Amino acid sequence: MAITARILTVTLNPALDLSARVGQMLAGPKLRLSAPHYEPGGGGVNVARAIYALGGDVLAWVAVGGASGAQHLGLLQGQGVAVQPFAAPGETRQSWAITDDAGQQFRLQLPGADWPAALGPQALADILAHAPGLVVLSGSQPPGLAADFAQTLAAQLGPERLIVDTSGPALLQLVRGPRPAGCPAVLRLDQAEAEGLAGKPLATVAETAAFARALVAQGVAVRVCIARGADGSVLADEASAHHCRPPAVPVQSKVGAGDSFTGGFTLALAQGQTAPEALRLGTAAAAAAVMTPGTALCRAEDVARLLPECDLAAL
């Protein structure tokens, strides 16, 4: 079996995730929810949980604060994930996923506390001190943190080290900002983000691949991966592009599918698999995640079963 190098996941703006059920979402009256289920959340945290579930060697670097931050850390450590906490200002934010009896899911997120300017360089130094192998920077950035944090981290880490899945100003900075020395090894986008950046619908796999190639040509990242929902994901680099489509699966919750993808994808790279093989494992992990309820992520047994059914093709 391949030896897995330790992976560091970075979560700058984690969230204490609460999921519950309600009969019907209505404006006005008080709504009675079921007993809530708590999970440690945030992009990098969920990626770490997925890697751990798949048997990978991972350390979760998490910026947390206050009582909700302490609860978040306790939950994450209780799941067996190794944690490197970093002191963040204020209270760690909360997010909610409310599902009604019709199967509709309502997702509500808070922004997180503002970071003072001096905290960004301190976080960068601490991340670099705990990063022996691949690094995954996933999730939103807290208010106050410089938008070019991901680019700075990529430059400090060196080539082929950083995988980025972010949003908002940080994503815009990566795609449209100045190009510093060094770029992420992989940038992952969902379809809505990709279409927003492209300024048009990406209705076909070919259109998605063309946009991914364009971002690579611009120096945004060495590889660009774009999710297409139930249609799978497209991965492109300077020389090639691939599409992987998952099998049809019963959908319970779409929460965590993207993070499960990133976890499976990164784990495969850490094991020495090729980028297309990593695309396939990520696709299986994402498909497995939508089969689980609430904020639960992929299960290893589901990923193993679905992996041979994921259709990988060169474009």
Domains of the chain: 7-314 (3.40.1190.20)
Range of lowest pLDDT (75-89, 100-114, 140-154, 200-214): 100-114
Q: What is the pLDDT of residue 211?
A: 97
User: Percentage of the chain surpassing pLDDT 70?
Assistant: 97
**Average pLDDT in the 46-50 region?**
96
* 184, 222 contact by CB (below 8 A): yes
**Average pLDDT in the 271-283 region?**
96
d(CA 120, CA 124) in angstroms, rounded, equals: 6
Structure tokens at 35: 């007993």
Q: What is the pLDDT of residue 179?
A: 75
Residue 95, strand partner residues: 17, 109
Q: What is the pLDDT of residue 295?
A: 67
- pLDDT category of residue 188 using cuts at 50, 70 and 90: very high
Q: Is the pLDDT of residue 253 over 90?
A: no
* Nearest alpha carbon to residue 285 among 268, 307, 266, 270: 307
- pLDDT category of residue 1 using cuts at 50, 70 and 90: very low
Residue of 57, 126, 259, 302 with catalytic role:
259
d(CA 17, CA 105) in angstroms, rounded, equals: 14
**Average pLDDT in the 110-122 region?**
94
- pLDDT category of residue 2 using cuts at 50, 70 and 90: very low
Judge whether 100 counts as a catalytic residue.
no
